[in-house]
Structure 1
């Protein structure tokens, strides 16, 4: 049986080490991509108010240093609890319904589809799609919020992260403009695309057992490695767009008064970090939101330049290559 005490202990050990390393990296990457930094500012035609923009940050490690300076070590581990919950949920689903081992590192991670057949992979992809979208929203917002969220008060944290509209109608999260399409493209390309290609080119790597060297074709391995590298060109922009759409909150109306009324009282008596007088990043004004996947892509290119679509590209490349052979 896939779900045993020993497997559970190995899973907890692996998950703890994984989160210790991955959460600061993910948090830094999310902030780098969510930071709104247009090339030129334009005045609002109605009231002349300039949109709130973020600091100019040189790169990944500059952002990590900025987070450490303004929010301390606790800031680097923002998003820990939703990440822990999401990974545990995926592992439990794989162990219970797909009969995979929880003790195998190859079956851990959002995009590490379990070593199972086509039907199992399809079921995992559908479940991943349903769960990943609200998980991405909650995780990314918990990372980018300037507020200090308690680890063991999920309902209190959700009250800060979600608008009254999103709390009253949770399904609105799936209607976040463009986010569902972006996540669908990302999951489809990674799980159904790359994983299926690996199964065709390198079937020995798709099994649950460690393959022998004689079972792996060097030529096919190089071909797949190159494809995994080139996939960064597609995956990185999708991840940047998903980040910007996920932190964009849903309101009952895009009208200014409605937004102001919904935000009123959401953040009362909320503790902020010591460096709260200086924002770690800047977010695009919710008065002028992205309207969908295509609109977000075009505005990023027009306002921030095409390079913004490839923020943290090398992280996507590393995760993609290592994940492809996991």
Structure 2
């Protein structure tokens, strides 16, 4: 048991060392506000876009390294580490300590059981997702061991006073749950119907029918990208949208008082004259999942909903055959 626990911790450490920079670049790419080059201002005059224009995953990775250095590549490490540890502990305690042998994966309890488990994990994990995405995209330098300062930077006064406001972020929970339900219910059900458990050699027969069924699942995985990738882009944009509230404003309006954050920014520290990404103005928030999709298409073009689509495609293929 001890050896297995140590092996799990080492594996998690290596995984985080590799995935945190990659996930950071992905989140930045999808959250980046990159409106069309020609826009109209409030008076109808042509106004060219002056923010960063980054359209590729590896281009974003290089931009982060150039502007923010290695420290910038590992932004979001602490919330990711806490999130991973909490979810791993949840699986081990709530389900079965023997799950440690399988990397603390979710138990195989059928479609409805898996959906119920994943929904609980989603609800518990949503604040961690918001903090991780915001810590990745904030221009401020966050200390690793000063949680109170980081919380003040990442959350608005409203969110600090009423933490449940995070769950009311317009469209975020809907986007996350739709993504989850599509993979588990639709793709999961089809996989169970078409192909056997590929991990059990005694259930596999190398015949033409099986290969056809596997081919169908691979096609479903690729086609799922058209649905899942926009949901992932929308979720990234909604997660970094900070919630404000005041008596004379609605739940996503600008605070009356300023947050008065005066911490050092990465651009100032590195001598750069620009931030890694551009962010949409908080005074014009997305009002929900569909509103976000509509505004992204209008302001940034349909292609913005498919940023790094190939990463979603790879994940979808893996999910289709898992």
Q: Shared fold (TM-score greater than 0.5)? A: yes
Give 1:42's aligned residue.
Answer: 40
> What is the CA–CA distance in structure 1 between the aligned matches of 2:283 and 2:48, rounded to whole Å?
9
> What is the CA–CA distance in structure 2 between the aligned matches of 1:263 and 1:202, rounded to whole Å?
56
Written as runs of structure 1 = structure 2, the 5 A alignment for 1:56-205 is: 56-99=53-96, 101-105=99-103, 107-108=104-105, 113-118=106-111, 120-205=113-198
- What CA deviation, in whole Å up to 9, does each residue of 1:142-182 have, x standing for no partner? 00001111222223211110001001001100110111111
Q: 2:316 aligns with which of 313, 317, 320?
A: 320
Give 1:264's aligned residue.
Answer: 259
CA contact (8 A) 1:241 1:309 kept: yes
Aligned-residue RMSD, C-alpha: 2.6
CA contact (8 A) 2:225 2:309 kept: yes
The number of residues matched between the two structures is: 310
- What CA deviation, in whole Å up to 9, does each residue of 1:208-232 have, x standing for no partner? xx42175263232222121111111
Unpaired runs of at least 5, structure 2: none
Task: State the 1:103 CA deviation.
Answer: 3.3
Q: Structure 2 vs 1, CA of residues 97 and 212 (structure 1 numbering), >3 Å: closer, same or farther?
A: same
Unpaired runs of at least 5, structure 1: none
> What is the CA–CA distance in structure 2 between the aligned matches of 1:276 and 1:190, rounded to whole Å?
41
Q: Structure 2 vs 1, CA of residues 62 and 323 (structure 1 numbering), >3 Å: closer, same or farther?
A: same
Give 2:273's aligned residue.
Answer: 277
- TM-score w.r.t. the length of structure 2 is 0.87
> What is the CA–CA distance in structure 1 between the aligned matches of 2:13 and 2:50, rounded to whole Å?
35
Give 1:212's aligned residue.
Answer: 201
- What CA deviation, in whole Å up to 9, does each residue of 1:50-96 have, x standing for no partner? 79863111311111110000000111111111112222222222222
